[in-house]
Amino acid sequence: MNNNEPISLSQLAENITGSEIIKLAADVNEKIKQGHKIYNLTIGDFNPNFFPIPSELKKQIIKAYEDNQTNYPPSDGMPDLKKAVSNLLKERGDLNYKTDEILITGGARPVIYAIFLTLVDEGDLVVFPVPSWNNNHYSYLTKAKYKMIETLPENNFMPSAKDLRPFISTATLISLCSPLNPTGTTFKKNDLEEICDLILEENKKRSLENKKPLYLLFDQIYWALTFGQTKHYNPVSLRPEMKNYIIFVDGISKSLAATGIRLGWSMGPKHIIDKMKSILTHIGAWAPKAEQVAAAVFLNNLEHYDEYLKEIKIKINDRLVSFYNGFLNLKKEGFDVDAISPEAAIYLTVQFRLHGKKTNSGRVLNTTADITKYLLEEAKVAIVPFYAFGASDNSNWYRISVGNCDLEDVNSIINNLRFALKNLV
């Protein structure tokens, strides 16, 4: 083949779009290569030096490898781990799922992809709020149509039944997340109840007409990381009838700072879980066996689980509150910034109302991308704009992730931002 001749790929590969966060990360890495000290608050991950996994879990992983637990696990997960997950959900999550209603996977991403593949046909409508994580890409991969509903800061960027109602009758799947990535905010009880009632009402109509049900993908991967008076609610506990129509996304990636352990799970109706298992069998998306064996032992001792959660929640909350207070101080000083009080996860929602401002050199910050670049260059702070999560290009809201942040750096970051903001007119 002539090297100058274009290579023909599948339409799916040719048209898929990359992650906006990865594009931003490239700019950050280039700055670091140039010798700049960059405070990288873009990554939805944990720095193990600040947030190591539980010591007992690490011990059990090492033991599992020493015991040669290195062959294939069952494609739906190790039985002991499924029992441990079932017990965890019952004792700490107010959810009753039997082991044959649980599917263990290599992190949460295979769960989400399998839900889409199992429930969504080409041309079906998927409805989800924005900002949110990756729903547009999974819709693309399954050739679905999708409707993005842009949410508002007045409701902490969480969707309401009123937002969803216009699209319910033609939708196949609604995808929701609480606590929400990227905002770190959560559903209030009444709001989630109203959404559940809307879905149940629609499915009553569909059962009479013998139509395909309306399903809910509910991502609660951050549910254990709530702070203060915030309480996590799940649809099944609020409306038990929802159990027929909901498929959960869950795991230990966030609650145990174990993103690299690659251990997630899903719970849902058995006939759906069985089909997801069949699909993932061909993809090979199961979690490593040693990690499954170790997690089963760890999760069987909920005292260890509780102790670790108490410790990590303090460390995360300290960072979130420090950033939040720092932004409130900047706001009091007259700078055009704001923040939403942290509720959950590892994220803080912040605002920079800087469109149209000029730098000392006379450069106008016309776009959100201009603002993001200015904060990176002048404040040495990298954060993710909400347009990377599907919000409009001119949104002035951002995600700060604290999982890669040393608590001692928060004041320095706020001071850097103060300096950069002072240099705008």
Is the residue at 25 inside a domain? yes
Q: Which residue, of 301, 336, 353, is where some domain finishes?
A: 301
Residue 196 has φ and ψ, to the nearest 5°, of -60, -45
How far from the centroid of its chain's Cα atoms is residue 27's Cα?
Answer: 23
According to the model, what pLDDT value does residue 97 have? 98
According to the model, what pLDDT value does residue 35 have? 84
Examine the domain organization and report whether 203 and 223 are in the same domain. yes
According to the model, what pLDDT value does residue 17 have? 80
1 — pLDDT class (breaks 50, 70, 90): very low
How far from the centroid of its chain's Cα atoms is residue 285's Cα?
Answer: 19
The average pLDDT across 43-72 equals 96
Residue ranges making up the domain that contains 351: 11-51+307-422
Average per-residue pLDDT in the chain? 94
Residue 303: partners with Cβ closer than 8 Å, 6 or more residues away:
none
Domain count, the chain: 2
21 — pLDDT class (breaks 50, 70, 90): confident
The average pLDDT across 133-157 equals 95
CA distance 257 to 238: 28
Per-residue pLDDT for 3 more than 80?
no
Examine the domain organization and report whether 84 and 36 are in the same domain. no
Examine the domain organization and report whether 195 and 284 are in the same domain. yes
pLDDT for 69-79, tens place per residue?
999 999 999 99
Longest CA span, the chain: 66
Examine the domain organization and report whether 407 and 339 are in the same domain. yes
- Read off the CATH number of the domain in which 243 is found: 3.40.640.10
With a pLDDT cut of 90, the percent of the chain lying above it is: 88
Per-residue pLDDT for 152 more than 70?
yes
- The amino acid occupying position 331 is K
CA atoms within 13 A on the CB side of 77: 33
341 — pLDDT class (breaks 50, 70, 90): very high
- The amino acid occupying position 298 is F
pLDDT for 393-417, tens place per residue?
999 999 999 999 999 999 999 999 9
With a pLDDT cut of 70, the percent of the chain lying above it is: 98
According to the model, what pLDDT value does residue 4 have? 59
Per-residue pLDDT for 55 more than 90?
yes
- The amino acid occupying position 63 is K
Examine the domain organization and report whether 293 and 313 are in the same domain. no
Cross-strand pairs, 129: 149
Examine the domain organization and report whether 283 and 391 are in the same domain. no
The average pLDDT across 331-347 equals 97
pLDDT for 224-246, tens place per residue?
999 999 999 999 999 999 999 99
5 — pLDDT class (breaks 50, 70, 90): low
Per-residue pLDDT for 419 more than 80?
yes
Q: Which residue, of 281, 301, 321, is where some domain finishes?
A: 301
pLDDT for 173-224, tens place per residue?
999 999 999 999 999 999 999 999 999 999 999 999 889 999 999 999 999 9
The average pLDDT across 311-332 equals 98
Cross-strand pairs, 130: 150
The alpha-helical segments, DSSP class H, found in 362-408 are: 368-378
Examine the domain organization and report whether 44 and 91 are in the same domain. no
pLDDT for 366-397, tens place per residue?
999 999 999 999 999 999 999 999 999 999 99
Is the residue at 2 inside a domain? no
Examine the domain organization and report whether 381 and 285 are in the same domain. no
Examine the domain organization and report whether 179 and 40 are in the same domain. no
Is the residue at 95 inside a domain? yes
51 — pLDDT class (breaks 50, 70, 90): very high
According to the model, what pLDDT value does residue 356 have? 95
Is the residue at 61 inside a domain? no
Q: Where are the beta strands (DSSP E) in 168-310?
A: 171-177, 215-219, 246-251, 264-267
Per-residue pLDDT for 2 more than 60?
no
Per-residue pLDDT for 327 more than 90?
yes
Per-residue pLDDT for 318 more than 50?
yes
Q: Which residue, of 253, 279, 301, is where some domain finishes?
A: 301
Could you tell me the two tokens for 11? 């339409």
Is the residue at 202 inside a domain? yes
6 — pLDDT class (breaks 50, 70, 90): low
CA dihedral of 357, 363, 367, 369, whole degrees rounded to 10: -120
Is the residue at 56 inside a domain? no
Examine the domain organization and report whether 203 and 351 are in the same domain. no
Per-residue pLDDT for 16 more than 90?
no
Examine the domain organization and report whether 160 and 193 are in the same domain. yes
